[in-house]
Structure 1
């Protein structure tokens, strides 16, 4: 896993999933710039309709004890990655919106 990779982070206590760009990795945790995965569709809609208010990416630190796993955002067979879905729906790369 490299810095600036697009990832999905599965967390525990509380259980949640976070989508974004991996900004930093250390022995004590990771920093990701992104959004809660449950808000992904809303985020794309806000960008598509050029709404200024709404879902916005945040830079968040997750301590190592909360991280269950980190998954690279990759397509599997005919199933596109979230980044590819974003590009198709919004018309620009997800990385441009995670700066």
Structure 2
């Protein structure tokens, strides 16, 4: 499949402990993702609620989005944020 893939949604913690892990892991996760081939944009931004973030991702195509998913599955980000609720909408797949 070709064409841009976008992901939008939220990451919602249930405790300050989860939020601390997100804050600690997020800078490296953002930097690594933005450096990936095919990443157009990648933003994870805090909201007015200190345990909720908005997520917005754009990748050139399905292959680059899938490569991102594969890389992150075994990353420190995945380990630190395992079990944290995500509500995402993916378009272009």
Q: TM-score surpassing 0.5?
A: no
Q: Which is strand-richer, 1 or 2?
A: 1
Query: Bigger relative contact order, structure 1 or 2, given CA contacts below 8 A and separation 6+?
Result: 2
TM-score by length of 2: 0.31
Structure (1 or 2) with the greater helix fraction: 2
